[in-house]
């Protein structure tokens, strides 16, 4: 019998997990469920739905710190921060639409559990870098907390980091605390048109190695650029390399000028202001610019300078019956890859392509069948896999929380 | 300070252990004579001293792995040590423990400008990394005041910060990859040159693990281009509250400086005497605000900072007009600890973090405590992020003063937790704050942390006696207390 439990507070979460432990009943942990299709499919009858744990528990704009119950919608948090001209600087992306649902559903707990960041990750860090503390219930049915409500803190192990990217396999999070930052006065984006992948990534690398402090560095091949809803981006009908600059107005203007001078002999340049700039980066973050067909979608994290080589190798190895499209963020360090009509999402050749240079590939979207058959997350060395399994054992010895979501072994 | 009872069988087998270690590293890499061991008897927290059983100095990962295997076989404990500047006793030796000193393990392996990172061995000093990439205009951002000597391995183990971490983050935000060796001798690589390591974020928990989880044998750090310009503003305020208001107003105006430091009057006076930095001696609060970045931005923000300072009642204000002047502003702050060392025979450096708005209250209550304990206190403060360093002045040669100073320190840290802060912002728990962990964490919190340790070091041989007030065996921690047969939650919504 399948049953969903929707607790209203942390005590009830603890009660349910303790009961599940006693009954040895596996639990699927979910917030709003917007990322349920990410990860290995699970055979679980009982669901622990955390979307009832809502509300801000602490927000002091002057301290730049915000805490909220894990089920609080991200949209609620962003609205509240917006009232004070603040934001979550790691720019949580919204995978709602690429995962077949609708945008705007994410909860703050889910953002942390999947360690989801956006283009600004390259400058300010990921969700894991901005998380200051967590409370949760382990798979032992015990409530615990880690971290605190201040930015500088090294008291005890940093278990918040461990929760980031653990996809609900270690604990059911009940409350999370984040550092927040002021919104910049001005944002602009410099575009350079018509560069090949390797030229584009070299331009992004040059900007990244400059003292101009870019907060977004993305390269869109022509196909991806053509889907952008900003006219300036689509008009030339060519590839676009985009560099975002944020800060006080005079500084943004001066830095954009420097960038355009730096790249004027590489290609035509353009500058996006205000709304156009934010639309472009929202579409990059949410991966809205790749194949409408909805093929298998990979997220690759690689050393930036190797990105062009990696996509070349993948392109060369793919059978001619498959279509592949790419999009680059994080100065090349993040590669989104959409593949159509490949057997088992072409996982072997994708992972072979980055074996030499290091990095990892995660299959963000694929059919349940494919996600059951192949490793969704990058397989690791046996030693590291065993260590991960022991870490899981320490939090969830009976393997009850999101069992099998990250790995068949733990 | 109570440490775990030495294991008599390990003490008895010392000679065999020394011989085994000598078979791994060169003869001079094993130190066992008492007068040579003396050099390692304490770290930066000199109040506590203990001779180690033996010191071993490996030079590569394979040696570290073999040493840990041998120690595991002998049932010997291991204490990793970088440069020994820990202020919390993290590298304090154990009588029955091998001190694994990583000072010789000090090569820069690779500088990769294309990927903006450097791969280094753990014994490389923090500053040496910045120096190695300086000719290309790069640097490694976290800059602890001890950066000339402290090792990058120690920085990772302590998750160290620096005066610029307000804008650039602490160690954990600036590393990409680690190689670690477990107590079993197993070598594991985490992350690499890419962002966000795969699987569980074990790099995140290794950072700040104080040598209890694994030995760090390689670190990949991010390097950044040096900002075009940095300028500092030195502001004096007639009252501490005004200084606090200034900091709050800057942040309220959306300005996040590269660094923002505050000193109280006693700290300012000591620093000025030592460095002649030109600090205003009448100020109750002295604030240094540094802005860096594009010159247009720095000059623009400097104007705003000056305006806010005047509005908050600044009694003096100077803005650096040259690089030399900027460094001069910092010289007193950077030497704050040493200058206190000159006006007092001994001092304890505390390290709590508080919500910024509690600063006036915390300082007031600390002044009352200072009267009560009859000990002076000077304060330096990473004002931007609420990390407070009260320096408690005492004289260990006066009977009872050390104990009074320890008690005073403990009260300060309890106060930090009481106002919503934490025990340690960057120096680590070590032995110093170990017995205060219960002030911040419940037994369940601490047990969950120790279960993480069990995954890395099931026998508890790596740096025991640090961080955790009570040591549990992993078998005991793994036991489940299951209550069956409850009526499942009548009040909880279900469908
Ligand atoms: C004058 C002075 C100023 C300071 N200023 C600052 C500051 O501004 N900010 C700050 O954060 N700290 C500061 N510190 C504290 C100290 O310098 C840092 O904690 C530093 O990171 C310690 O590095 P170390 O190499 O000296 O490590 P050690 O003191 O040798 O060791 C520290 C801890 O790390 C472990 N360890 C060391 N190396 C390894 C390794 N390779 N693998 C596993 N574990 C290891 C040890 O077991 C120990 O627990 C200061 C200290 C002094 C004396």
List domains and CATH numbers for chain A. 1-183+380-410 (3.30.465.10), 186-285 (3.30.70.2190), 296-379 (3.30.70.2740)
pLDDT of residue B490: 67
| Same fold across B8-101 and B108-225 | no
Model confidence over B53-68: pLDDT tens digits?
Answer: 999 999 999 999 999 9
Task: For residue range A235-262, list pLDDT tens digits in order.
Answer: 999 999 999 999 999 999 999 999 999 9
Question: Environment class of residue B445 by beta-carbon count within 10 Å: exposed (0-12), middle (13-18) or buried (19+)?
Answer: buried
pLDDT digits (tens, 9 = 90+) for B281-327: 999 999 999 999 999 999 999 999 999 999 999 999 999 999 999 99
| Beta carbon pairs, A and B, within 8 Å | 305
User: Residue A293 pLDDT more than 70?
Assistant: no
- Given A8, A157, A397, which is nearest B205 (Cβ)? A157
Per-residue pLDDT at A171: 98
A48-57, A184-193, B268-277 — which is least confidently predicted?
B268-277
- All residues of chain A having their beta carbon less than 8 Å from the beta carbon of residue B429 are 154-156
Q: How confident is the model at residue A194 (pLDDT cuts 50, 70, 90)?
A: very high
Q: Determine the pLDDT at residue B337.
A: 87
Segments making up each domain of chain B, as ranges: 8-101, 108-225, 229-337, 344-434
Q: Which residues line ligand 1 (CB under 6 A)?
A: B 43-44, 79-87, 90-91, 102, 122, 144-146, 150-151, 153-155, 157-158, 160-162, 210-211, 215-216, 337, 426-427, 463
Over residues A49-64, mean pLDDT: 97
A24 to chain B, any CB pair closer than 8 A? The answer is: no
Residue with tokens 């100065």: A331
Does the pLDDT value for residue A42 go beyond 70? Answer: yes
State what percent of residues in chain B have pLDDT above 70.
Answer: 99
Task: State the architecture of B344-434 in CATH terms.
Answer: 2-Layer Sandwich (3.30)
CA atoms within 13 A on the CB side of A166: 31
- pLDDT tier at B12 (50, 70, 90 boundaries)? very high
The mean pLDDT of A126-151, rounded to a whole number, is 97
Does A393 touch chain B if contact means CB atoms closer than 8 Å?
A: yes
Mean per-residue pLDDT over chain A, rounded:
96
The percent of residues in chain A predicted with pLDDT above 70, rounded, is 99
Say if domain B108-225 classifies as CATH 3.40.190.10: no
Chain position carrying tokens 């793994």: B478
Which atom of ligand 1 is least distant from the CA of B338?
1
pLDDT at B352: 96
Give the closest residue to B423 by CA, choosing from B44, B415, B156: B415
Q: What are the φ and ψ backbone dihedral angles of A345, each rounded to 5 degrees?
A: 55, 25
The fold for domain B229-337 equals: Alpha-Beta Plaits (3.30.70)
> For A357-380, what is each residue's pLDDT tens digit?
899 999 999 999 999 999 999 999
What is the distance in A from the centroid of ligand 1 to the CA of B426? Answer: 9
- Expressed in angstroms and rounded, the spacing between residue B427 Cα and the centre of ligand 1 is 7
What distance in angstroms lies between residue B156's CA and the mean position of ligand 1's atoms? 8
Nearest CA-CA partner of A287 in A68, A38, A5: A38
Residue of B nearest to A185 (CA): B254
pLDDT at B486: 60
Chain B: give the shortest CA distance to residue A95, in Å. Answer: 18
Residues B219-276: tens digit of each pLDDT: 999 999 999 999 999 999 999 999 999 999 999 899 999 999 999 999 999 999 999 9
Which pLDDT score, from 0 to 100, does residue B485 have?
59
3-class DSSP state for residue A173? strand
DSSP symbols for B156-212:
HHHT---TTHHHH--GGGSEEEEEEE-TTS-EEEEE-SSSS-SSS-HHHHHTT-TTS
3-state secondary structure of B118: strand
> Ligand 1 pocket: which of B56, B157, B388 to mutate (most atoms <8 Å of CB)?
B157
Chain B residues within 8 A of A62 when measuring between CB atoms = 248, 251-252, 356-357
Which residue in chain B is spatially nearest to A58 when comparing CA positions?
B420
Residues of chain A positioned with their CB less than 8 A from the CB of B426:
152, 154
Q: Is the dihedral of CA B56, B58, B61, B63 positive or negative?
A: negative
pLDDT tens per residue across span B77-131: 999 999 999 999 999 999 999 999 999 999 999 999 999 999 999 999 999 999 9
Of A5, A129, A378, the CB nearest to B173: A129
Is B8-101 a CATH 3.30.43.10 domain? Answer: yes
Other C-beta atoms closer than 10 Å to the C-beta of B131 total 13
DSSP for B443-462 reads: HHHHHHHHHHHHHH-TT--B
Which of B80, B206, B208, B261 should be mutated for ligand 1, with most atoms under 8 A from CB? B80
């Amino acid at each position: 019998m399948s049953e969903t439990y929707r607790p209203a507070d942390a005590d009830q979460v603890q009660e349910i997990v303790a009961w599940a432990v006693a009954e040895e009943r596996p639990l699927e942990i979910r917030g709003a469920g917007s990322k349920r299709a990410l990860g290995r499919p699970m055979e679980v009858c009982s669901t622990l739905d955390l979307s009832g744990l809502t509300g801000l528990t602490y927000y002091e704009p002057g301290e730049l710190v915000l805490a909220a119950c894990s089920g609080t919608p991200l949209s609620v948090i962003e609205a509240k921060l917006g009232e004070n001209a603040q934001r979550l600087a790691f720019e949580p992306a919204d995978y709602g639409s690429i995962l077949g649902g609708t945008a705007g559903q994410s909860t703050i707990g889910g953002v942390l559990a999947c360690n989801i960041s956006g283009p600004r990750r390259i400058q300010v860090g990921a969700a894991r870098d901005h998380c200051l503390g967590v409370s949760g219930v382990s798979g032992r049915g015990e409530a615990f907390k880690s971290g605190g409500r201040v930015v500088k803190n090294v008291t005890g192990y940093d278990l918040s980091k461990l929760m980031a990217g653990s996809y609900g396999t270690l604990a059911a999070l009940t409350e999370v605390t984040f550092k927040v930052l002021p919104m910049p006065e001005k944002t602009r984006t410099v575009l350079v048109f018509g560069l090949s992948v390797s030229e584009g990534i070299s331009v992004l690398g040059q900007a990244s190695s400059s003292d101009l402090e870019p907060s977004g560095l993305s390269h869109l091949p022509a196909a991806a650029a053509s889907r952008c809803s900003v006219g300036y981006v689509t008009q030339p009908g060519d590839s676009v390399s985009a560099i975002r600059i944020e800060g006080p107005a005079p500084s943004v203007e001066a830095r954009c000028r420097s960038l355009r001078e730096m790249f004027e002999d590489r290609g035509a340049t353009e500058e996006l202001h205000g709304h156009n700039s934010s639309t472009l980066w929202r579409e990059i973050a949410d991966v809205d610019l790749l194949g409408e067909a909805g093929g298998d979608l990979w997220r690759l994290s690689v050393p930036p300078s190797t990105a062009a080589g990696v996509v070349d190798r993948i392109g060369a190895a793919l059978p001619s019956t498959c279509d592949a499209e790419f999009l680059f963020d994080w100065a090349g360090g993040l590669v989104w890859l959409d593949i159509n009509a490949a057997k088992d999402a072409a996982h072997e050749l994708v992972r072979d392509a980055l074996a030499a240079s290091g990095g990892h590939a995660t299959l963000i979207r694929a059919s349940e069948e494919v996600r059951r058959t192949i490793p969704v997350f990058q397989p690791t060395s046996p030693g590291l896999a065993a260590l991960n399994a022991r870490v899981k054992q320490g939090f969830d010895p009976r393997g009850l929380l999101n069992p099998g979501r990250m790995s068949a072994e733990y | 300070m109570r440490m775990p009872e030495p294991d008599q069988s390990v003490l008895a087998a010392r000679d065999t252990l020394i011989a085994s270690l000598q078979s791994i590293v060169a003869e001079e890499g094993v130190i066992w004579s008492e007068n040579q061991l003396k050099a390692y008897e304490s770290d930066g927290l000199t109040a506590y001293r203990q001779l180690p059983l033996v010191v071993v100095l490996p030079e590569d990962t394979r040696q570290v792995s073999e040493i840990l295997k041998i120690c595991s076989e002998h049932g010997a404990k291991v204490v990793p040590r970088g440069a020994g500047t820990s202020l919390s006793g993290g590298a304090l030796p154990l009588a029955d423990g091998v001190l694994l000193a990583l000072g010789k393990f000090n090569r820069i392996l690779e500088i990769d400008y294309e990927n903006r990172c450097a791969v280094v061995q753990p014994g490389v000093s923090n500053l040496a990394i910045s120096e190695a990439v300086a000719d290309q205009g790069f640097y490694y951002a976290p800059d602890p005041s001890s950066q000339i000597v402290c090792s990058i391995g120690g920085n990772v183990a302590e998750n160290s910060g620096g005066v610029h971490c307000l804008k650039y983050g602490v160690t954990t935000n600036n590393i990409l990859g680690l190689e670690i060796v477990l107590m079993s001798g197993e070598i594991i690589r985490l992350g690499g040159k890419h962002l966000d390591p795969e699987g569980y974020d074990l790099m995140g928990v290794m950072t700040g693990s104080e040598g209890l989880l694994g030995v760090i044998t390689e670190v990949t750090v991010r390097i950044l281009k040096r900002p075009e310009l940095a300028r500092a503003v030195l502001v004096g305020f007639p009252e501490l509250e005004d200084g606090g208001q200034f900091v709050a107003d800057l942040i309220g105006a959306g300005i996040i400086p590269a660094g923002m430091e505050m000193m109280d009057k006693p700290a300012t006076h000591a620093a000025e005497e030592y460095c002649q930095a030109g600090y205003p001696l009448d100020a109750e609060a002295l604030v240094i605000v540094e802005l860096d970045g594009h010159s247009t931005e720095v000059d623009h923000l400097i104007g705003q900072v000056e305006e806010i300072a005047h509005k908050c009642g600044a009694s003096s204000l100077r803005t650096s007009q040259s690089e030399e002047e900027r460094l001069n502003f910092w010289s007193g702050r950077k030497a704050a600890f040493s200058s206190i060392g000159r006006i007092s025979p001994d001092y304890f450096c505390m390290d709590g973090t508080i919500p910024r708005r509690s600063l006036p209250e915390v300082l007031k209550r600390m002044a009352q405590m200072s009267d009560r304990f009859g000990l002076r206190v000077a304060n330096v403060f990473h004002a931007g992020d609420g990390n407070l360093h009260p320096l408690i002045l005492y004289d260990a040669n006066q009977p009872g003063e050390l104990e009074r100073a320890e008690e005073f320190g403990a009260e300060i840290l309890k106060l930090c937790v009481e106002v919503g802060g934490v025990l340690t912002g960057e120096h680590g728990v070590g032995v110093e704050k170990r017995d205060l962990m219960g002030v911040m964490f419940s037994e369940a919190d601490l047990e969950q942390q120790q279960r993480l340790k069990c995954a890395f070091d099931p026998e508890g041989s790596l740096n025991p006696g640090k961080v955790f007030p009570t040591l549990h065996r992993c078998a005991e921690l793994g036991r489940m207390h299951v209550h069956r047969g409850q009526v499942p939650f009548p009040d909880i919504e279900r469908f």
